[in-house]
Amino acid sequence: MRYDVAGRAERLQRRFTSPLHEERAAALLGLALGVSFTVCFATGLYSHWAQHPPSWFVLPARPAGLYRVTQGLHVATGIATIPLLLAKLWTVFPNLLRWPAFEDVAHAVERVSLLPLIGGSLLLLFTGLANINGWYPWRFNFVVTHYWTAWITIGALIVHAGARWTTTWHALRPQVRTSGDAATPDRRVFLATLGGAVALVTLATVGETVSPLRKLALLAPRRPDTGPQGFPVNRSAIAAGVTTSARDPAFRLRVEGNVRRHLTLTLDDIARLPRADATLPIACVDGWSTSQRWTGVRVRDLLDIAGARRGATVLVESLQQRRSYRSSELNHVQARDPDTLLATHVNGEPLHLDHGYPLRLIGPDRPGVMQTKWVTRLVVR
């Protein structure tokens, strides 16, 4: 006897009786996800360009809190997307059981693009959540894979949006909403519940960057008021292997490269230079941020003493010997900004070893990983 696949699939699909598996709920969630994925992609791209600037991109120094906002938004939106995506997948799940699976080549392409769309979305959200918690249970590099998977996923999202364009806007038209739509009360409760879920995960985590809400950040991996000197640390001095070299009396700051005279400064020399204060955020790529008052010497003053040309860029190097974040680049705008400091103090106290004692870079609108700690050399270019 011939196995009736189509009949079986149709009967199985009919078992999903909830009116929430309908186009309007799917369209509303699709719209919300379109916005959240666009926000995550745009802010992620900004973070990527900030750390690996293409030739045409100059990371601005103002507004000083821009990166804090974009990266805070990236992580908060990612977390809020978790319930949105799961709800959307639940809403459209019966479509998986359709038979025939596709009608023609165009339909097949659209359905196949769901694999990278859904797989990519789940991968991005899971790896992102694990990364902000410092957990890496996979064998690929998080940053590089997260970045390229984001391109794949956003491409699949564009394919999907094009294929669902007409359906979505049709489902959102007011006449569809009011024409004896039996699903309306249930759908409203469903969407209100989902709104509550989004609010819950957001309120329970966003305090890691929005400090007035920090007491509510019960599920966040960071608290902006917890750590040495009252704020968090991304990499400790022990992890960086600098506990001895940072405290060595032979410590010197060198300013070298394309300058008229090379400088070699002791901490006493640095203490005698003009001091400057700046209140600036540390804004980590992991989504937490905190504003502190820093004191130190302006990088531009050091460049002037060394006779660097205006428009010079600066490579800031750490005592840290290993890993990719042991140095960072100051472009010509950031190097000349009056708030870009080599800080020796925070909130009036000498820096804690974990915050970069004896010298750390702090500048406006920079990712936390580029606020290089334990600075020992400026290479002017």
Within 351-370, the residues that bind another protein by CB under 8 A are 354
Q: Which of 58, 106, 176, 271 binds another protein (CB under 8 A)?
A: 106
| C-alpha to C-alpha distances, 215 to 209, 212, 224, nearest whole angstrom | 11, 8, 10
The answer to whether 34 contacts another protein (rule: CB under 8 A) is no
Q: Which of 9, 42, 45, 129 binds another protein (CB under 8 A)?
A: 129
If the CB atoms of residues 61 and 79 are measured against another protein, the closer one turns out to be: 79
| Least spacing, CB of residue 174 vs another protein, in Å | 17
| Least spacing, CB of residue 260 vs another protein, in Å | 40
Q: Which tokens in the block code for residue 182?
A: 């039996």
Of 47-55, 77-85, 267-275, 326-334, the window that binds another protein (rule: CB under 8 A) is 77-85
The answer to whether 209 contacts another protein (rule: CB under 8 A) is no
SS3 297: strand
The answer to whether 228 contacts another protein (rule: CB under 8 A) is yes
Of 31-39, 138-146, 262-270, 305-313, the window that binds another protein (rule: CB under 8 A) is 138-146
DSSP assignment of 101-131: S-SSHHHHHHHHTHHHHHHHHHHHHHHHHHH
If the CB atoms of residues 193 and 321 are measured against another protein, the closer one turns out to be: 193
The answer to whether 261 contacts another protein (rule: CB under 8 A) is no
The answer to whether 91 contacts another protein (rule: CB under 8 A) is no
Residues in the chain: 381
Of 160-168, 261-269, 298-306, 337-345, the window that binds another protein (rule: CB under 8 A) is 160-168
b/e code 256-266 from CB counts within 10 Å (16+ = b): bbebeeebebe
If the CB atoms of residues 56 and 250 are measured against another protein, the closer one turns out to be: 56
| Least spacing, CB of residue 162 vs another protein, in Å | 1
Q: Which tokens in the block code for residue 79?
A: 């977390």
Largest CA-CA distance found in the chain, in angstroms, rounded: 94
Q: Are 344 and 358 a contacting pair, CB within 8 Å?
A: yes
The answer to whether 45 contacts another protein (rule: CB under 8 A) is no
- The sign of the dihedral angle between the CA atoms of 258, 262, 266, 267 is negative
The answer to whether 72 contacts another protein (rule: CB under 8 A) is no
Report how far Cα 157 is from the mean position of its chain's Cα atoms.
20
Q: Which of 89, 210, 213, 263 binds another protein (CB under 8 A)?
A: 89
DSSP assignment of 323-369: SGGGEEEE-HHHHT-TT-EEEEEETTEEPPGGGTTT-EEE-TT-BGG
Of 1-9, 186-194, 296-304, 338-346, the window that binds another protein (rule: CB under 8 A) is 186-194
The answer to whether 246 contacts another protein (rule: CB under 8 A) is no
Q: Which tokens in the block code for residue 304?
A: 């002037």
Q: Which of 44, 232, 356, 368 binds another protein (CB under 8 A)?
A: 232
Number of neighbouring beta carbons within 10 Å of residue 330: 28
If the CB atoms of residues 228 and 257 are measured against another protein, the closer one turns out to be: 228
